[in-house]
Amino acid sequence: GFAATMEQMAGLSWLTGHRDDQPRIQRGPCDPLAGVHAAFALLVAMAERDTSGRGQFIECAMIEAALNVTAEQVAEYTAYGNLMERQGNRSPEAAPQGLYPCAGHDASEHPQWLALSITSEVQWEQLLAWLGKPPWAGEIGKTLPERRAHQDTIDEALGRVFAQRDLGDSVEELVAAGIPAAAIVDPRALTDHPQLAARGFMEEVDHPVVGRQSTMGAPFRFASVDRWLRRAAPTLGQHNAEILVELGYGPEEIEQLKTEKVIGHWPEGV
């Protein structure tokens, strides 16, 4: 199937979006979900082969992989009759949780957003201390149900605070105080994160068309591997001559194949 249809069939879109708005399309998470499940099935089959000597025929349906990550809403309804609804940026396990615009704009004049999620009473107390013990907090209570019942009030208050504050300073202070917070980062700044730099996630390779470029490596580290990328992906037809020579073709035959457009380098840069 296609990810864009599997997401709807599995109920992912039903839970994505704000409560009073339409469901939202997730833009393709079912593709990697199916791939990860298929890779896991392959590893299990290989383990069975090594144990029993028997091979396996593997089928991995994308809808079944997608349902594995939407199991909570299925269980809620089949076991308790509860129909889970869209909650926007909020969560049944955290309050407050949301995105808040901060003062100023980025280089493209876009608003700068801060993400915040309070999952415990300790974090709630730390947030209130950071806010300077505001008077309105005394009417809310500490527990998760109490905080969830007053999310609108909390969001309005936090919105006023962050609208007057710098994004970077706010994130740094909140994290230092033990409060889960982060900046909403656009793709231009993703590769500049100090944690990625410390882990060597970005690797440089030489490309025949665009030159030396920084690109993403593997999302894991091995003690015995210093880097994953030894060269850039080849362009279309880049190694035609090398391969054909190994197969016994001579220079004239290779040129003839080019003339007849059996092989080539078009489109440029691909």
DSSP letters, 228-268, are S-SSPPPPTTTTHHHHHHHTT--HHHHHHHHHTTSS--PST
Q: What pLDDT, on a 0 to 100 scale, did the predictor assign at position 103? A: 93
Q: What pLDDT, on a 0 to 100 scale, did the predictor assign at position 109? A: 79
In total, the chain counts a number of residues equal to 270
Q: With a cut of 50, which residues of the chain have pLDDT below it?
A: 269
Q: What pLDDT, on a 0 to 100 scale, did the predictor assign at position 266? A: 63
Distance CA 207, CA 233 (A): 8
Q: What pLDDT, on a 0 to 100 scale, did the predictor assign at position 147? A: 95
Q: What pLDDT, on a 0 to 100 scale, did the predictor assign at position 11? A: 86
Q: What pLDDT, on a 0 to 100 scale, did the predictor assign at position 195? A: 85
3-state secondary structure of 117: strand
Q: What pLDDT, on a 0 to 100 scale, did the predictor assign at position 247? A: 96
Contact predicate 180/119, CB 8 Å? yes
Instruction: Please report the domains of the chain, with CATH numbers, ordered by start residue.
Output: 3-80 (no CATH), 97-183 (3.30.1540.10)
Tens digit of pLDDT for each residue in 163-176?
A: 999 999 999 999 99
- The residue with tokens 């990697």 is 32
Best CA proximity match to 261, nearest among 233, 247, 240: 240
Counting Cα atoms < 13 Å in the Cβ hemisphere of 111 gives 10
